Each structure stands twice: as C-alpha cells, then as structure tokens.
C-alpha cells in the first residue's frame, strides 16, 4: 500500500462532481472554424483576439525565422541562447509599451512566477486580487512573502490591508483584464493606492496587450501611466499577438535585476528565435491594422445586445471575454455539449479555475469572426437556453 494508491479514487470523485477535465483534439489550424471530432465547429474559446495566430504574413516570418536561425535555441539566455532576434524583439516590445526595457520570457506563467519571486521574499508583502490568474497567485505563494488577498477590484479592502502593517517591500499584483470575467482592473485606483502606501504595482496585461489602447499598446497606455505608476508591466505573446512567449517591461534597473534574479528566466531554454521573428511581424501588424480592434469592438457590442435580447445575463465586460455564468459545473458542461451539437465550440470553465458555484461558458470573440459568426453563436445560445434550462 502506498499513499499514492488513492489517485484513481480521486479521479473518480472528480468525475462524479463534474470537474474532470478532458482535452479536446483539434484537427485543423486555429481559425474561426476548426475541425474536431470528425466535424467542423465555430470556435469561440481561443485567445487569438486579433485573429493573428494563423496569419499568412506571420507564418511566412516564422518560416523565414527557422531558415535563418534553425529551430531550437539550444541554451538559456544567459548561456548562449540569446540571439539577435530575441534582442531585437525586446527592443521592439520596449518601444511598443513606451518603456525603457523589456525582457522576454518563454511563457507567461514563467514570467509571473519569476518576476514576483525576484521582487519579493520573506520580509515582504504581496497583495493580490482574488480573481488573479493562477500564475500570479502561484508567484505570490511561492515567494514566501506574506500573502494577502483583496476582494475582487475592491480598493477599500486593499487599502485596509495595506494600512494594517508595514513591511520591507510591498507589491500589489493584478490582472489588467480578468481572464475568466472579462472586466478590467481599476487601474487608476490601484496606482493611487500604490502611491499612498509606497507599494509597487504589477499589472498582467495578458488579455489587454494588442487589444486595447492606441496602436494596441494595451491597458497600461504609456500616455497615461508612467514607470512610477506601474513599475512592472507583464504581458503575453500567445494571445492577441498570436505567437508564443511573454515579457516584462519596466526600467533599466528592473530588467537587469530580473536577469540576475528571476529563476524562471535564468534556468530555462530560450524561446526559438523564429518565434521572436514571427512576433516582430505580428507587432507591426498590430500597430498598423487598427481595423482589427474596431471590428472586434463592433462584434462585442453585437454579441452583448443580442445575448441580452434572448435573456442571457452578461457580466459587465466590454472586452473580448464574454462569460455566461451558469452556476453548477454539470450545467455548464451540458450547455457546452449542447452548443457543440449545434456547431459552436465553447468550453465550460469550472472550479477551481473559477469560484465554486460560478461555472461558466467563457465565450471569446476575435477579429477573425464575422458578424454572421456572432449571429450563429447567438442563434445556438437561444436554442440551448430553451432546451437545457428546463433540465437544470
């Protein structure tokens, strides 16, 4: 007998509770319509907000990047994996965000863990919004800093905690756009709370970068927020940018410090250089093609007014993330299956990703969708609302 013998029982319990996770196998490149299970469905669950993940120009850049640099980077950035392509991308990201420096990480999860851990430790405090992304929470927990939650977007609650006791360093950490709710952090209030309490603010703009702001600079628009307001800006490249990886942007000292101290930066293989080349092309497109953001905003308005008309309750979100909270996990899964039978792919998001009793359909819209796609989504939602609502 071993203490690990109950793993099959744990799996069985997850199944009973409707919390068992299964991966779906997709048989086509990412697009508004994807092949799955022998059929085709309209995809409303990717984070490819600008419809760039499969853009031909970015594909070509990626291929040219492979021809120029090969595939694997072969080492970490500090050994011999840091190429001119990575370096050029860091400079472009610094420009794009209006900050002196940027540091490329292999993914967003690593960037958040590495950055929070480098910045705070045993004698410090970290304050996190209750709905922060798992990677931000994990970063706070692993850092050994005193960990404080504050109620979602509740600055009064945050300030109470900040005032309670002083510490060496204090870091306030928040999603820019909350990944499962789609609402945006109260950035102005976070910045002034940081000021009043001598705390640094770190914003994870994974869902805002490329989607909001002039030329897609993100929520932390440099015209409004300086380095003193938001010293630590993090964003990912696997969502609106359509490639892979992540970065932190800030001042010279912050970036040099992360190079010395962020373990998730130091002890990991650099991204393939071709990803950097593809990302450079994507940044160009993001800045130039304002129509992608305009079109996306029009789709968001169309979806919201349509969903309200057929009686779905929406969360207060004007971002591409439009969740329908249904409550129980089983109900969310049943709805997701009913939608798939009607040709619409939306995954059910369940605890522990979201709080208990708030399982939901997390609908995401992208600039790749057409108005007709949104109308098909609305028609399917109207049908399942009638059929499934009775059974639950």
Ligand X SMILES: *Cc1c(COP(=O)(O)O)cnc(C)c1O
Where on the chain is the footprint of ligand X (CB under 6 A)? 107-109, 112, 133, 135, 175, 179, 204, 206-207, 236, 238, 246
Q: Which residues contact 364 (CB under 8 A, 6 or more apart)?
A: 44, 45, 46, 47, 49, 320, 321, 322
CB of 16 to ligand X, least distance (A): 29
CB burial class (10 A; 0-12, 13-18, 19+) of residue 199? buried
Q: Which residues contact 287 (CB under 8 A, 6 or more apart)?
A: 96, 215, 216
Give the separation between CA 47 and CA 313, rounded to whole angstroms.
22
Of 32 and 139, the one with the shorter C-beta distance to ligand X is: 139
Closest distance of CB 190 from ligand X, Å: 15
> Which CB atom, from 248 or from 333, has the smaller least distance to ligand X?
248
By beta-carbon distance, which residue lies closest to ligand X?
A: 108
Query: Least distance (Å) from ligand X to the CB of residue 237?
Result: 7
**How far, CA to CA in Å, does 5 sit from each of 2, 8, 10?**
5, 7, 10
Yes or no: say if 178 and 185 are a contact pair by the CB < 8 Å rule.
yes
Provide the 10 A C-beta neighbour count for residue 16.
Answer: 9
Cβ closest to ligand X, residue 108 vs residue 222: 108
Cβ pair 323, 361 in contact under 8 A = yes
> Nearest distance from residue 20's CB to ligand X, in Å?
22
Tokens of 162: 């900040």
C-alpha to C-alpha distance for 175 and 166, rounded to whole angstroms: 24
Of 48 and 175, CB closest to ligand X: 175
| Closest separation in Å from C-beta 123 to ligand X | 26
* CB of 318 or CB of 328, closer to ligand X: 318
**Is 379 exposed, middle or buried (CB count within 10 Å of its CB: 0-12, 13-18, 19+)?**
middle
Tell me the C-alpha distance between 355 and 378, whole Å: 26
Question: What is the nearest approach in angstroms of ligand X to the Cβ of residue 385?
Answer: 28
Instruction: Please state the closest distance from residue 133 (CB atom) to ligand X, in A.
Output: 3
Name the β-bridge partners of 375: none
CA distance 174 to 204: 6
- Nearer residue to ligand X within complex by CB, 47 or 312: 47
Sheet arrangement for strand 33-36: 33-36, 39-43, 344-345
CB nearer ligand X, residue 171 or residue 381: 171
Minimum distance, C-beta of residue 282 to ligand X, in the bound complex (Å): 14
In angstroms, give the least distance from the CB of 183 to ligand X.
13
Residues β-bridged to residue 360: 325, 349
Query: 3-state class of 75 per DSSP?
Result: coil
- 206/220 with CB nearer ligand X: 206
Alpha-carbon distance 80 to 82, whole Å?
6
Choice between 137 and 162, CB closer to ligand X: 137
Work out how close the CB of 246 gets to ligand X at its nearest, in angstroms, rounded to a whole number: 5
- Residue 150 pairs in a beta bridge with 129
Cis peptide preceding 352, ω within 30 of 0: yes
Handedness of CA 161, 163, 167, 172 (dihedral sign): positive
Residue placing its CB nearer to ligand X in the complex, 239 or 281: 239
């Amino acid at each position: 007998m071993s203490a690990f013998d109950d793993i099959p029982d744990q799996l069985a319990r997850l199944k009973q509770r409707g919390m068992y996770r299964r991966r779906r196998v997709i048989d086509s490149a990412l697009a508004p319509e994807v092949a799955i299970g022998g059929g085709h469905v309209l995809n409303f669950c990717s984070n490819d907000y600008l419809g760039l993940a499969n853009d031909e120009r970015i594909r070509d850049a990626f291929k040219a990047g492979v021809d120029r640099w090969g595939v694997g980077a072969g080492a970490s950035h500090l050994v011999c994996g840091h190429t001119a392509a990575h370096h050029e991308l860091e400079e472009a990201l610094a420009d794009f965000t209006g900050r002196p420096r940027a540091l490329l990480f292999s993914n967003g999860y690593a960037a958040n863990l590495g950055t929070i851990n480098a910045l705070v430790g045993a004698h410090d405090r970290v304050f996190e919004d209750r709905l922060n992304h798992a990677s931000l929470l994990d970063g706070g927990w692993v850092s050994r800093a005193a960990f404080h939650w504050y109620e979602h977007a509740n600055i009064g609650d945050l300030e109470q905690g900040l005032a309670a006791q002083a510490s060496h360093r204090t870091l306030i950490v928040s999603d820019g756009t909350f990944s499962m709710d789609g609402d945006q952090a109260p950035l102005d209030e976070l910045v002034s709370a940081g000021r009043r309490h001598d705390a640094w603010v770190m914003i994870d703009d994974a869902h805002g970068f490329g989607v909001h702001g002039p030329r897609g600079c993100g929520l932390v628009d440099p015209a409004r927020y300086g380095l003193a307001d938001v010293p630590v800006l993090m964003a990912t490249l696997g969502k609106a940018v359509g490639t892979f990886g992540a970065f932190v942007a800030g001042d010279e000292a912050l970036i040099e410090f992360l190079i010395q101290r962020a373990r998730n930066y130091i002890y990991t293989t650099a991204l393939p250089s071709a990803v950097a080349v593809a990302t450079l092309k994507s940044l160009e497109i993001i800045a130039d093609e304002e129509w992608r953001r305009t079109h996306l905003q029009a789709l968001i308005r169309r979806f919201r007014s349509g969903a309200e008309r057929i009686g779905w309750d929406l969360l207060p979100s004007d971002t591409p993330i439009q969740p329908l909270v249904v409550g129980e996990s089983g109900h969310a899964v049943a709805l997701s299956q009913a939608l798939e039978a009607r040709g619409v792919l939306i995954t059910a998001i369940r605890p522990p990703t979201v709080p208990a009793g708030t399982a939901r359909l997390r609908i995401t819209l992208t600039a790749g969708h057409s108005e007709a796609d949104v109308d098909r989504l609305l028609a399917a939602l109207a049908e399942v609302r009638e059929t499934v609502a009775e059974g639950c």
